[in-house]
Structure 1
Amino acid sequence: MTIILTALFVVFVLEKYLLHRWSTSLFTRGIPIFTARIPANATSRALLYPDRLEHDVAPLTTITLAFHALAKDRIAFREGSVIGFANVQQRYYPVMRGLIEVDARRNEIRVQGLCNWTVLVLPLVFLVLAVVGSSTTTALVAVLGFLAVFAIGYFIQRKAYRSVAEVIRAQTAAP
């Protein structure tokens, strides 16, 4: 049991560290749980201003998002602060990290939310605890609690990620 909880803690700390360091591997790989596609021809794609995203998105959401260019065609984004489990203004656990990809081949810009590692590992911990522990009721309550926390975090972040897509849609709209 201690090994499982230690592994969960290591995954949590490692994920927070990589988020803070803007790790390209972390932000470009993962399971997409949110996707918005914005049609954008070459002229529209040239109108995307990554430097203005943080400023333009801020008034639209209660979540502070930070943006970082990973490459010419990729911009990562995440919650503004990644150190704590829940910040004073943040009453939920972030379940996604964001990626904006400019896809010239498909003439689109994609805004994706990739599932955080901790969100994937936590259900496994609950499953092991249910198998090892003698109380399936406790495990069931823990799983239901996790699902509630996941749903709350997802819907809050989905609203913010939709705002990112709307800002990009407005930036790339033909004048």
Structure 2
Amino acid sequence: MAIALIAVMLMELLLLIFWAPFFFRTGIVLFNQRIAASPAKLARLSLSGLEQDLPTERWMSQAFHALPDGSVAFRESFAPYFAGRYFPLMRGQLVVDKRRREVRVIGRCSWFALAMTVMLLPIILIHPVAWPMLAFLLVFYMGYRIQLRGYAEVVEVVRARVRCELPRRFIDPRR
């Protein structure tokens, strides 16, 4: 069972590194935020360069990559980060839906976290002394809450771009 979990973790890591389009488009949705926009604003909307608009002082920085279908995938950057780490539980996708007149920010569940959670119950039922492994669920929940804040920041940056506003840190305070 441990070998299967390691294999899932390595496979997911490779799919994240190589920005596999099917990987970012499929999975269990944990975060789904819709931002309404008029057709004119959607036509002017640019999702490039979002990394520069996001604050990076508190959490790991986000990396963005355009997918062939026109959506934008995002995940935590693999760049070295020394202020603290957490287990990333989601990978994201930005989808511009002109028919519904909205931009969707979607966060999908990590395969490793899902497999670990599903395997945890049978392990504890078979080996009751393994109950301390339930701490993994707490770690996953804390990582989810931290990552949820990061996804909310992505939503705010996209919402500001839809409204054609600059982020506050780009506005000159001397004016």
| Runs of 4+ with >6 A deviation | none
Which residue is 2:133 aligned to?
142
**Percent sequence identity over matched residues?**
36
Of the three residues 96, 100, 125, the one matched with 2:94 is 100
Q: Which structure has the higher relative contact order (CA within 8 Å, separation 6+)? A: 1
Structure-2 separation of matches of 1:104 and 1:151: 34
Which residue is 1:42 aligned to?
39
Which residue is 2:159 aligned to?
169
Structure 1 alignment gaps of length 5 or more: none
Structure-1 separation of matches of 2:90 and 2:119: 19
- Deviation of residue 61 (structure 1)? 5.2
Structure-2 separation of matches of 1:72 and 1:38: 19
For the 8 Å contact 2:45–2:161, the answer to whether it is kept is yes
Structure 2 alignment gaps of length 5 or more: 166-175
Structure-1 separation of matches of 2:44 and 2:143: 31
For the 8 Å contact 1:65–1:78, the answer to whether it is kept is yes
Which residue is 1:111 aligned to?
105
Structure-2 separation of matches of 1:131 and 1:59: 42
Query: RMSD of aligned C-alpha atoms?
Result: 2.0
Which residue is 2:115 aligned to?
121
Of the three residues 133, 147, 152, the one matched with 1:157 is 147
For residue 63 of structure 1, give the secondary structure of its aligned residue in structure 2. Answer: coil
- Deviation of residue 124 (structure 1)? 2.5
After TM superposition, list the pairs within 5 Å mapping 1:56-135 onto structure 2.
56-59=53-56, 62-71=59-68, 73-81=70-78, 88-133=82-127
For the 8 Å contact 2:123–2:130, the answer to whether it is kept is no
Amino acid at match of 1:105: R
| Cα gap change, 1:160 to 1:60, in 2 (>3 Å) | farther
Structure-2 separation of matches of 1:47 and 1:137: 58
Q: What per-residue deviation string (whole Å, max 9, x for no partner) do you get for residues 76-119 of structure 1?
A: 0000018x9xx633421011000101111111000011001001
For residue 105 of structure 1, give the secondary structure of its aligned residue in structure 2. Answer: coil
- Deviation of residue 59 (structure 1)? 4.5
